A and B are shown apart, each in its own frame.
Chain A
Amino acid sequence: MAKRIDVSGLSAYYGSTRAIEDISMTIEPRSVTAFIGPSGCGKSTFLRTLNRMHEVIPGARVEGKVMLDDENLYGANVDPVAVRRSVGMVFQRPNPFPTMSIYDNVVAGLKLAGVKKKSVLDGVVEKSLQGANLWNEVKDRLNKPGAGLSGGQQQRLCIARAIAVEPEVLLMDEPCSALDPISTLAIEDLIGELKSQFTIVIVTHNMQQAARVSDRTAFFNLAGVGQPGKLVELDDTQRIFSNPSVQATEDYISGRFG
């Protein structure tokens, strides 16, 4: 578990529009890497290229290479479905399956992978919900609908669902932007715990959040409206927020633009 991601020369397109251009970076295993940058700079698009979710949008395509340890995710014989099983994702808005119970939500990924044995599923449900710090709140109502939980609980349920399949990498696309401060704190604590097992990449609009949860921070920017987004710099979070090497980064984090 927990693999290194090595991206080189990656560009992503929506039809003929280039959304991000020529991005190369290395993401270390068992660490939290945060992506920050102004709206439209392509950080979410880039995140979605890391588990081949970008291409589910009609007309979207990717050029370049994403190595997960020594496997190229965009290799000729690589099945995107298999990629998504090893690179989990948590979305901006909590999206538990509304037609499923809490229990069924957690095991949804395992059932897709063909695991049917009740004892195995029971164990995974408890372990994943424990891992997502949700077990104590829901253990007595596992058969109630997942959509009946609060927003913060739903997001932790989605995290439990993502980690239940034991992915190598966990991608989080602004996971707290729809949550209140208390729930945000709960998710941030959880991220701190999960990084001992997973490679975590988180997109956030909240710079304090990036500073709090991440070990490394990548700043993305775009030259102007309609221009593709680019990686400006990637460095230790502490350095980015105290003494970044690029002026644009400093302007952004000090609130001079964006």
Chain B
Amino acid sequence: MTSSSPADARGRTPRRRGDSRRGDAVFFNLSRGAGILLLVIMAAIAGFLTYRSALALGKNEGNFFTTFEWTPDAAKPVFGIAVLTFGTLVSALIAMAIAVPVAVGIALFISHYAPRRIAQPFAYLVDLLAAVPSIVYGLWGVLFLVPHMDGLTSWMDQYLGWTYIFDQSSAGVPPRNLFTVGILLAIMVLPIITAVTREVFRQVPRMHEEAALALGATRWEMIRTAVLPFGRPGIISASMLGLGRALGETIAVATVLSTNSKLTLHLLDPGGGTFAENIALKFNEAQPLGRDALMASGLVLFVITLLVNGAARVIIARRKEYSGAAA
């Protein structure tokens, strides 16, 4: 060691140190720049939407939050987001109610039940679902799902019709409705929720699983005691990613919902609408005021997404000391 040339070491060391400092500075500025860029983009979108919204809202003759109609280009411009908010939230909630339990089940199967040689290809298959373009889901929805929904919708009409929202006032019409959209969205968000929860379940430390097993837990009890509580923040985050996609999905929704949208609160009746679908359908034919009105609805969707994500953060942070991050 002492025999290795000191001149060599002396010659190299300072230069290398200089390099790494420059590298540090470059990397620091790159990452800080990326962070700032994100904030600028967010601010630009919010600012743009707010400005255009303000223009439209000033000319609206109805109440923006409670009005059902969307006729901003009429002589007396009236438009409101009541139906759109309802449709967006309800279809996304239906999607979540179906997709989250199924995704957690698939993720558990892949991470804890399936033999490895099945788990890998199976996981790959689920990821593949995420690569299918939205329009393909939309076409599948309108060409396959819609014609096959009759049994389910008439059953729901018969037994759950008293809830008003599941009352089907126009039987026999193709069910191009919010409920069908919810099911379609569930399939679309399934892969992302599955992929994230699967990774979280895989990261549960082996020692926690063994702790449960050594106490005499069956496999399911081990999952309930060690895996699910540990994965809870991950399940919530994954659901939020899925919810984000469900709230913002445009083309598949627009394909499935009947084109001549009458706005309705009956989930099983054709019609209803979501923010993104409404924008996609109306934007091309809209006058300047109509476009600004659509921007206003876009701003609402933006705010809803922020609120939902914020709520998820709060839920996760509230149990932070139990998160297992310390272990």
Selecting from A23-31, A88-96, A118-126, A207-215, the interface stretch reads A88-96
Q: Which of chain B's residues 222-256 have a Cβ closer than 8 Å to chain A?
A: 225-226, 229-230, 232
Q: How far is the CA of A158 from the CA of B211 in the complex (A)?
A: 9
Closest chain B residue, CB of each to CB of A56: B213
Asked whether any CB of chain A lies closer than 8 Å to the CB of B128, the reply is: no
Interface status of A75 (Cβ within 8 A of chain B): no
Q: Which of A157-190 contact B (CB under 8 A)?
A: 158, 161-162, 165
Contact of A91 with B207 in the complex, beta carbons under 8 Å: yes
Q: What is the 8 Å Cβ interface bit string for chain A, positions 117-159, against chain B (1 contact, 0 not)?
A: 0000000000000000000000000001101100000000010
| A89 and B327 alpha carbons, distance in the complex (Å) | 19
B322 touches A95 (CB 8 A): no
In the complex the two chains form, is B322's CB within 8 Å of A84's CB? no
- Residues on the B chain within 8 Å of A113, using CB: 216
**Contacts known (A145-B321, A147-B327, A148-B321); A95 close to B211, Cβ less than 8 A:** yes
Give chain A residues whose Cβ lies under 8 Å from the Cβ of B323. Answer: 98-99
Within 8 A of A (CB), among B199-213: 205, 207-208, 210-213
Instruction: Give chain B's interface secondary structure class.
Output: helix
Residues of B within 8 A of A58 (CB): 116
Residues of A within 8 A of B326 (CB): 98, 145, 147-148
A112 touches which of B205, B207, B208, B217 (Cβ 8 Å): B217
- State A161–B208 Cα separation when bound (angstroms): 13
* A103 smallest CB distance to B (angstroms): 13
**Known A112-B225, A147-B324: A99·B216 in contact at CB below 8 Å:** no
The chain A residue with its CB closest to the CB of B327 is A98
Q: Closest residue of chain A to B221, judged by CB?
A: A112
> A246 an interface residue at 8 Å Cβ cutoff?
no
For A95, the chain B residues whose CB sits under 8 A away are: 205, 207-208, 210-211, 327
Give CA–CA (A196, B203) in the complex, Å: 39
Cα–Cα, bound, A123→B304 (Å): 48
Contact B321 A84 (CB under 8 A): no
Is B9 in contact with chain A by the CB < 8 A criterion?
Answer: no
B118 within 8 A of A: no
Report yes or no: A145 in contact with B207, Cβ–Cβ below 8 A: no
Q: B152 an interface residue at 8 Å Cβ cutoff?
A: no
Tell yes or no: A200 within 8 A of B by CB: no
Q: Which residue of B lies closest to A110 (CB)?
A: B215
- Interface positions, chain A 92-118, Cβ under 8 Å from B, are 93, 95-101, 108-109, 112-113
Q: B225: shortest Cβ distance to chain A, in Å? A: 6
Residue from A53, A56, A93, A98 having most chain B Cβ neighbours under 10 A: A98
Q: How far is the CA of A161 from the CA of B216 in the complex (A)?
A: 12
Asked if A161 and B215 sit within 8 Å, CB to CB, the answer is: yes
Q: Which residue of A lies closest to B231 (CB)?
A: A99
Is there a chain B Cβ closer than 8 Å to A43's Cβ? no
Shortest B223–chain A CB gap in Å is 12
Contact for A88 among B214, B225, B324, CB less than 8 A: B214
Given A145-B322, A148-B321, the answer on whether A84 and B214 have CB atoms closer than 8 Å is yes
B208 and A97 form a contact (CB under 8 A) = yes
Q: Judge whether B66 is part of the interface by a CB distance below 8 angstroms.
A: no
On chain B, the residues within 8 Å of A89 by CB distance are 214
* CB-based contact A98/B225 at 8 Å: no
Smallest beta-carbon distance A150→chain B, Å? 12
Contacting pair A99 B322 (CB below 8 A): yes
Residue of A nearest to B217 (CB): A112
Q: Is A51 an interface residue (CB 8 A)?
A: yes
List chain B residues, Cβ under 8 A from A161: 211, 215
User: How distant is the Cα of A84 from the Cα of B221 in the complex, in angstroms?
Assistant: 13
- How far does the alpha carbon of A148 sit from the alpha carbon of B321 in the complex, in Å? 8
Q: Smallest Cβ distance from A108 to chain B, in angstroms?
A: 6
**CB neighbours of B232 from chain A (8 A):** 99
In the bound complex, what is the Cα–Cα distance between A97 and B229 (angstroms)? 9
In the complex, are the beta carbons of B210 and A108 less than 8 A apart? no
Inter-chain contacts of A101 with B (CB < 8 A): 322
Nearest A residue to B215, CB-CB: A109
Closest chain A CB from B210 CB (angstroms): 7
Q: Give chain A nearest CB distance to B86 CB in angstroms.
A: 36
Task: Enumerate chain B residues within 8 angstroms of A99, measured Cβ to Cβ.
Answer: 229-230, 232, 319, 322-324
Interface hub of B116, B207, B210, B216 (most chain A Cβ within 10 A): B216
B67 within 8 A of A: no
> Which A residue's beta carbon lies closest to that of B226?
A97
Counting CB contacts under 8 A, is B218 at the interface?
yes
The residues of B that contact A76 with a CB separation of less than 8 Å are none
User: Which of B214, B217, B324 is close to A51, meaning CB atoms less than 8 Å apart?
Assistant: B214
With a 10 A CB-CB cut-off, give which of A89, A112, A161, A162 has the most chain B CB atoms.
A112
A82 touches B216 (CB 8 A): yes
Residue ID in chain A nearest B325 by CB atoms: A98
On B, residues with C-beta under 8 Å from A are 116, 205, 207-208, 210-218, 221, 225-226, 229-230, 232, 319, 321-327
Q: 6 tightest CB-CB pairs across the interface, nearest first? A: A98-B324, A85-B216, A99-B229, A89-B214, A109-B215, A95-B207
**Interchain residue pairs with CB less than 8 A apart (10):** A56-B210, A81-B216, A88-B214, A97-B212, A97-B226, A98-B323, A98-B324, A99-B230, A99-B232, A162-B215
